[in-house]
Amino acid sequence: MKRIWHLLGVVLVMLGGVAPALADTPDDIRGVWMTDDSQAAVELMSCGSSVCGRIVWLKTPIMDGQPLRDMRNPNADARSRPLCGLSIIGGLRPNDDRFENGWVYDPVSGGRYRLSAELRSSGRLAITGFIGVETLGQTREWRRAPSSLGRCSDPQTRQS
């Protein structure tokens, strides 16, 4: 019985170390980032032992008096979802000085791609979306959003 309690204690310590491993990453990518074209801001946050992200600001959140929707989603049932608040990044896991094995959803094309990210010495975040081989993917650089940036989920906050 003593051996089982010891083993259980070891397992709990190991499980408890999963989430803190992300917090101890030297290059923390969590926070709000402006996309390379400054049309949206994405908040990256801890989701268990990985990083996920959702759209929290859009330069143009409304078209024809209606909130922008996920119109290009291949799943017809998901096309009515508003873009504001939409989860578009998931599964990024720290690996040395990079984050890998994630996915990104592009609401402009409706495509889902593999994803890696790396915080550059300039303070910008290099986001690489790809199919198959990472070296053939596209890399975009995001910059941290100003703290004064509003949130599209807050109706009291102005978007631009």
Strand spans (E) along the chain: 31-34, 40-47, 50-58, 62-63, 66-67, 87-95, 98-106, 111-119, 125-130, 138-144
Digits of tens for pLDDT over the chain (160 positions)?
343 333 333 333 333 333 444 444 445 899 999 999 999 999 999 999 999 999 999 999 999 999 999 999 999 999 999 999 999 999 999 999 899 999 999 999 999 999 999 999 999 999 999 998 898 999 999 999 999 999 985 444 434 4
pTM over 0.85? The answer is: no
* Contact between 88 and 52 (Cβ < 8 Å): no
